[in-house]
Amino acid sequence: MLPPSTEVWNSVEEAARRVFRAYNYREIRTPILEETQLFARGVGEETDIVTKEMYTFEDRDGSSLTLRPEATASVIRAYIEHRLDQRPGVQKLYYLGPMFRRERPQKGRYRQFFQIGAEAIGSESPFVDAEVIEMVMEFFRAIGLEGFQLLLNSVGCPKCRPVYIARLREELAKAAPSMCADCRRRVETNPLRVLDCKVPEDQPIVEALPSILDHLDPECRAHFDAVRQSLTDRGIAFELRPRLVRGLDYYMRTTFEVVHGALGAQNSVLGGGRYDGLAESLGSKVPAPGIGFSIGEDRLVMSLEETRGEEFKPQLCLFIAPLGERALRESALLARDLRRLGISVEIAADARLKRALELANKLAARYALILGEDEIASGKYTLKNMATGEQVSIAREELPARLGRG
């Protein structure tokens, strides 16, 4: 990641911190290396992440360690280990950082990639589901992302999902022989994952499979109805996608995804959902229902660069061209004082005046300040507006107001 792209990254992360704080989320930082078993148990033994994509190695003491492929399992481990259930209210946590998966590199997908995510732990309420989704929408609004779409589904619960999976297996027994190798394997190991197949030739078969929304039990249906009503109350548009499942085993009930057209076929920038049984599967003796999401920051930044990249480029405020050694020393003090006010300043330490002004133009500085013996003696500096060419003589103490703070 190089400038100016890093400016987009910084803007995105600053917006995430600002919006998440408004919803009372606090940052958590989990280790990059975790015990392999955490992800095998939490993510799922038969998921592509565990079977194909994790970077796993044996440590010197014979223990198996893995570079984290995702963060939710790590957050729940920390929640259990540090007894966050003893703290008052719903635990609202967010994270930013690198994840690692050995998947085929493609547009916006890398083997070291970055995620922004959040988890709300300690409530089964559909109101919390809607609030989490609202926070995502507010974050996208804050960074100016346009043209995205919210997709919504429910994948039921351990009580009603087995009935649907049995029905799915019946249909797949007839269709699987003509599907891709991964789907044929998933029919036996995790048939729900067949719905997540991205192979174009398999899509007509996937679309014809039974809908999980027709198999929700009364509790799951009431929960999903309440989520949809709360989203409607908040003015949040969504599209029902009965084939939408998440790639990890721990999800139940509400699942959602945000897609963006600038990314082509693999257009998802965010995935999330509810995972009420995850804490128990990781050894918690206390139920810890939760819901969360993760944003593919690489893909999100790519979308912003393609649609609004120019807006994120920072502009140098002031370029100082000192004339002589004494002026160079004076420039250092002036630049320090302006920088303390948040004004960006660059000094031409070793360039003649003509070359310095050419450099100021190439750096797209808003103003250039010429500082020589006469200016130092009079206390009046020559300030040039690089866009209009206008030059004014200005006292040092007037500079901050003329330049603006920032």
d(C-alpha 175, C-alpha 209), whole Å? 9
- pLDDT attached to residue 22: 96
Domain ranges of the chain: 5-160+216-310, 318-403
Measured CA distances, 327 to 149, 301, 316, 350 (Å): 56, 42, 21, 12
β-bridge partners, 224: none
β-bridge partners, 65: 35, 57
- Domain range 318-403, CATH architecture: 3-Layer(aba) Sandwich (3.40)
- Domain range 5-160+216-310, CATH architecture: 2-Layer Sandwich (3.30)
Tens digit of each residue's pLDDT (9 = 90 or more) over 120-161: 999 999 999 999 999 999 999 999 888 889 999 999 988 888
- Alpha carbon dihedral 240, 243, 247, 252, in 10-degree steps, equals 60
The whole-model pTM stands at 0.84
Q: What is the pLDDT along the chain (406 residues), one digit of tens a residue?
A: 888 888 889 999 999 999 999 999 999 999 999 999 888 876 666 566 666 788 999 999 999 999 999 999 999 999 999 999 999 999 999 999 999 998 776 666 788 999 999 999 999 999 999 999 999 999 999 998 888 899 999 999 888 888 888 888 888 888 878 888 878 888 777 788 788 777 888 888 888 888 889 889 999 999 999 999 999 999 999 999 988 876 566 788 999 999 876 544 457 889 999 998 888 888 888 889 999 999 989 988 888 887 776 666 778 999 999 988 888 999 999 999 999 998 999 998 876 777 888 888 888 899 999 888 888 888 888 899 998 989 999 898 899 988 874 3
Tens digit of each residue's pLDDT (9 = 90 or more) over 280-309: 888 888 889 999 999 989 988 888 887 776
CB-based contact 402:369 (threshold 8 Å): no
